[in-house]
Amino acid sequence: MLSRRDMLSGSIAAALAASPLRAAVSFDEKGKGFELVGPGGAIPLFVEPGDFAGVLRAARDLAADVERVTGTDAPLSPMPDQPRMVLIGTLGKSPTIDRLAATGKIDVAPIRGKWESYSLQTVRDPLPGVKEALVIVGSDKRGTIYGIYDLSQNIGVSPWYWWADVPVVKRDRVRISYGRYFQGEPAVRYRGIFLNNEAPCLSAWTAEKFGGMNADFYTKVFELLLRLRANYLWPAMWNNAFNEDDPKNGPLADEYGIVMGTSHHEPMNRAHKEWTSRRPGNGDWNYVTNRPAVQQFFREGARRSKDRELLVTVGMRGDGDVAMEGTGGIKSDVALLETIIADQRRILQEETGKRIEDIPQVWVLFTEVQKYYDAGLKVPDDVTLMFADDNVGYIRRLPTPQERATRTGGFGVYHHMDMNGGPYSYKWVNTNPFPKIWEQMNLALEYGANRIWISNIGDLKPLELPIEFFLAMAWNPKAVTKERIAEWTQLWAAREFGSTHAAEIASLVSRYAKYNAWRKPEQLRPETYSLQNFQEAERMVTLWQGLRKRAEAVNAALPAIYRAAYYQLVLHPIRGCCNLTELLVAAARNSWFAEQGRASTNQEAAEVKRLFGQAHQIRDSYNRDLSGGKWNHLMDQTYIGYFDWYQPTQDIPPPVSELDLNDVASFGVAVAGRTQAWPGFYLPPSLPTFDSLRGERNWIEVFPRGKRPIAAKVSASEPWIMLKDEAAFSTSAADRRYWVDIDWTKAPDGKSEGSITISQGDDATSVSVTVNAIKATAEQMRSAKGCWGSLSGPFSIPADAFDRKVPAGNVRWEAIPDYGRVEAAMSIFPVDAPSIADPAKAPRLDYPIFVGETGEWTFDLVTAPTLNVNPAHQLSLALWIDDGEPQIVSVFTPERRETEEFLGAAHDHDSRTDMRIMRFKAAIAQAGRHRLSIAMVDPTIVIESIIAYRDKLPDSYFGPPSIRIGEPTRS
């Protein structure tokens, strides 16, 4: 049963795809408008036979899509002579369409001469014998094709209908409101993806399903790209050669309308495999030692593709996507590269007979290549300069105004959503939350890198969501502003699964990608989250388990037709990631429990084995059960047990210990905040200080150490210490947790000390845990209310929890919702605002804080690990307390550029944690309420939160939870 809201999915698709057809398509029985599908079935389509082959092909797809929707054929008519028709054609290529334009039956002024633009118009009596027509007209080949697929999507065929088994909802009627609908140019000229890191998944899947990466496979990719209004592709190149694996690949791409490129390290439209399978000359991929052979290789590439639409990669890297062998110095390296590019351009002209300015070329500043550019390498202005990210989605560099003014070839960005290499590999499931993509690609747009966008999307699946988001931004960024990301996600969910569960599904897919970006699954280790501090590991498990529960509930409620799509797009990654977190935390417990001598160590070992087996069940469900095995091998990727940057050959379960238990009934005690256990450690245990302003409770755990059950007695020394017995955070029910909380109505003001004693029967052994508590006075409580702070210990502040925001002209702090580790991060807009050296004149955020302890405080600003896209900047911020002196901290100083690798010494760490710490110090002389101010110096910094502490910060991945005083929350 479809709900009323599901019937609106045509509009949903239109909004999602930033389509001009918004609100134009309806499926109602009755109503006005052009009936694409009426009581008599689908109406015929006409395309001039002389139009682009790709247009004719897309028209056939439309016919098939109409049948998918209605169950009835939309016949392709050989002539435009039926009473009611869809007329399709490209301006200047379809005499029929040109006639309609010439006679004013259709209005093509808004699109004529534009890049990839189109219009859909309903027309009465367009041609003799035709009473009514829907005309789809494109300004150029892809314009017409996009127009066709726009209609397809709006009548209910998801771009992912084949690639993600999204069902097509059957309709009896499809009606287009009468009118003229125009779609202008895309924001980014070349929008594409890079099929990369394609083993083990894509390679094995294409081998099994297509017999290789041949035309049968690639036409599936081309069609998807066009339905997503992309136009650019770097084909798979791991032991693959697009043009040679199947000679039909290249011509078919051109026919479909896909602009082919080769990856950043494969110049002149040739796969590197074409070289390695032949190794001409002396075999070296080296322009110094084997120049004639390399030149001949370039020449063949230029000749082969001279009639196709291409973006030619120029330049050269080393043998097999590694850095070029140095020639002895940066100066001679630069000179060599300049020679190479000049030679490549000469060859291109010689072989194509075209002017070089008419051959789109791109030079990619990947990894070490950027250093040649920084060292002054000159590339002709008509070459598009493509800046790369740092392999984990943060753009390293964007054009300066001077560069933009001179480079006619413009600028592009090479982006990653999947990586095999440094700083680490991530290849399993989607780890790219939309707000992170948005923030970086918005920089690209605003800084003028809008000629080419390409993203490395690995095996394509399971990155369906971020691929579409990336391409949607490239098409029309105005439709995907930061405030509308959530809406866009919900529209996506409604298009794929109907509206009923759309909000929930949108939340689920946003959540799992967000959690995965906190630390990519491949980078998770048993020790990542703290078992001792802030209940961190158990919070993470609870978070994932809650998400999985919600996802399972939707799965149970969804109509069966959606289940396959739901599994691959939503349920599988959530099940998989929840399982992984449970697995690693169980392994962490095993290791810690072994140190404590807990009898349940062995149960955790069994739990690790169970969850490791379950990981493979989840994988196998994807490979074997999903859609009858259609996607077999696409989940072959190993992801458990990375020990270096490259994937493990097989998943490696976290190692576990199993203890030999004695036949005794002895107990042990663990205490929040401490790694040791008692009896065993010589210094006595104590709990973290309880603080009435923060209201956090804490725990001790009591557990058996031998085979026999224990009967421990736990008692508190003071009436204000409250104890609550629950199951421990353990696989064993014999492990008990005692929540310790303070009855603040009974505790005296100021500092108090008590204890909790654990003992057993006649056993002389007992453990006494010290309980320290600090209670705010009524005066302190009043003063602190609404602040972020503590009487004792660290605290943290979400970046959007300011109580005052001060702009400087039109330069201001704005929230980026759902970003990073928080509900909303803060960044400066416009993103290309000039730097402001004086913090007093800069846009500012003020936070109310309360500290119980004086002295030097440290404020760790948790920011995104954005890089220095503007080389004139240092990524600086200012921070100060009250009216104190602002302290300015810079991420990229000239000194660091001298002494550190190009991404900074901390890049490895920061990219793993997906954050950067900017550390400020400030002395606070008086306890009580204060104002913490943060001011912009440079833009393009994204602040997520502030962690404040005076003494040592306990080890954890996230730091202390954010608690606003007077509004304690408890998870």
- Backbone phi, psi, residue 606, to 5°: -65, -35
Using CB under 8 A, which of 659, 722, 734, 888 touches a second copy? Answer: 659
> Which CB atom, from 662 or from 969, has the smaller least distance to a second copy?
662
Using CB under 8 A, which of 216, 325, 487, 651 touches a second copy? Answer: 651
Beta-ladder partners of 930: 849
Provide the terminal-to-terminal Cα distance of the chain, rounded to the nearest Å: 38
Task: Give the torsion sign (CA, 240, 246, 250, 252).
Answer: negative
Binding of residue 660 to a second copy (CB under 8 A): yes
> Which CB atom, from 247 or from 613, has the smaller least distance to a second copy?
613
Binding of residue 649 to a second copy (CB under 8 A): yes
The two three-digit tokens of residue 417, written as one number: 């959503």
Whole-number minimum distance, CB 198 to a second copy, in Å?
A: 14
Binding of residue 682 to a second copy (CB under 8 A): yes
Binding of residue 684 to a second copy (CB under 8 A): no
- Determine the Cα angle at 913 with ends 911 and 916, to 5°: 75
Binding of residue 680 to a second copy (CB under 8 A): yes
Binding of residue 658 to a second copy (CB under 8 A): yes
Whole-number minimum distance, CB 616 to a second copy, in Å?
A: 6
Rg (C-alpha) for the chain, rounded Å, is 31
Q: Give the other-Cβ count within 10 Å of 381's Cβ.
A: 14
Using CB under 8 A, which of 422, 641, 695, 807 touches a second copy? Answer: 641
Binding of residue 668 to a second copy (CB under 8 A): yes
CA distance 732 to 959: 28
Total length of the chain:
971
CA distance 166 to 562: 7
Kindly indicate which of the ranges 493-501, 534-542, 671-679, 744-752 contains the residues binding a second copy, using the contact rule CB under 8 A. Answer: 671-679
Q: Is 324 left (phi over 0), alpha (psi -120 to 50) or beta?
A: beta
Binding of residue 357 to a second copy (CB under 8 A): no
Binding of residue 614 to a second copy (CB under 8 A): no
Widest distance between CA atoms in the chain: 106
Using CB under 8 A, which of 60, 173, 291, 609 touches a second copy? Answer: 609
- Determine the Cα angle at 67 with ends 63 and 71, to 5°: 160
Whole-number minimum distance, CB 905 to a second copy, in Å?
A: 20
The 411-416 sheet, strands edge to edge: 259-260, 232-234, 190-194, 452-456, 411-416, 383-388, 361-365, 312-313
b/e sequence 684-719, b meaning 16+ C-beta within 10 Å: ebbbbbbbbbbbbbbbbbbbbbbeeebebebebebe
Given a contact cutoff of 8 angstroms between Cβ atoms, the answer to whether 66 and 42 are in contact is yes
Binding of residue 653 to a second copy (CB under 8 A): yes
CA distance 468 to 13: 12
**Pattern of binders to a second copy over 541-580, x per CB under 8 A?**
----------------------------------------
Binding of residue 654 to a second copy (CB under 8 A): yes
Kindly indicate which of the ranges 151-159, 488-496, 587-595, 693-701 contains the residues binding a second copy, using the contact rule CB under 8 A. Answer: 587-595
Binding of residue 685 to a second copy (CB under 8 A): no
Using CB under 8 A, which of 335, 375, 557, 652 touches a second copy? Answer: 652
Whole-number minimum distance, CB 941 to a second copy, in Å?
A: 35
Binding of residue 698 to a second copy (CB under 8 A): no
Binding of residue 676 to a second copy (CB under 8 A): yes
CA distance 182 to 121: 8
CA distance 445 to 90: 29
Binding of residue 481 to a second copy (CB under 8 A): no
CA distance 658 to 676: 19
Binding of residue 596 to a second copy (CB under 8 A): yes
Whole-number minimum distance, CB 612 to a second copy, in Å?
A: 7
Kindly indicate which of the ranges 221-229, 673-681, 884-892, 931-939 contains the residues binding a second copy, using the contact rule CB under 8 A. Answer: 673-681
The two three-digit tokens of residue 941, written as one number: 């910094």
Using CB under 8 A, which of 29, 307, 358, 644 touches a second copy? Answer: 644
Q: Residue 269 is which amino acid?
A: N
For 494, residues 6+ apart whose C-beta sits below 8 A from its C-beta are 5, 9, 12, 502
Binding of residue 656 to a second copy (CB under 8 A): yes
Given a contact cutoff of 8 angstroms between Cβ atoms, the answer to whether 709 and 739 are in contact is no
What are the DSSP calls for 506-566, one per residue?
Answer: HHHHHHHHHHHHHS-GGG--TTSS-SSSTTHHHHHHHHHHHHHHHHHHHHHHS-GGGHHHH
Using CB under 8 A, which of 132, 284, 300, 595 touches a second copy? Answer: 595
Whole-number minimum distance, CB 653 to a second copy, in Å?
A: 5
> Which CB atom, from 453 or from 592, has the smaller least distance to a second copy?
592
Binding of residue 810 to a second copy (CB under 8 A): no
Binding of residue 663 to a second copy (CB under 8 A): no
Given a contact cutoff of 8 angstroms between Cβ atoms, the answer to whether 43 and 84 are in contact is yes
Beta-ladder partners of 506: none
Q: For a second copy, how many residues bind (rule: CB under 8 A)?
A: 38
Given a contact cutoff of 8 angstroms between Cβ atoms, the answer to whether 260 and 237 are in contact is no
> Which CB atom, from 644 or from 856, has the smaller least distance to a second copy?
644
Binding of residue 763 to a second copy (CB under 8 A): no
Whole-number minimum distance, CB 646 to a second copy, in Å?
A: 6
Binding of residue 612 to a second copy (CB under 8 A): yes
> Which CB atom, from 92 or from 706, has the smaller least distance to a second copy?
706
Given a contact cutoff of 8 angstroms between Cβ atoms, the answer to whether 826 and 807 are in contact is no
CA distance 79 to 81: 5
Kindly indicate which of the ranges 259-267, 490-498, 653-661, 717-725 contains the residues binding a second copy, using the contact rule CB under 8 A. Answer: 653-661
Binding of residue 527 to a second copy (CB under 8 A): no
Using CB under 8 A, which of 349, 627, 657, 772 touches a second copy? Answer: 657
Using CB under 8 A, which of 643, 778, 883, 970 touches a second copy? Answer: 643
**Pattern of binders to a second copy over 154-193, x per CB under 8 A?**
----------------------------------------
Q: Enumerate binding residues for a second copy (CB under 8 A).
A: 320, 590-591, 594-597, 609, 612-613, 616, 641, 643-644, 646, 648-662, 668, 675-677, 680-682, 705
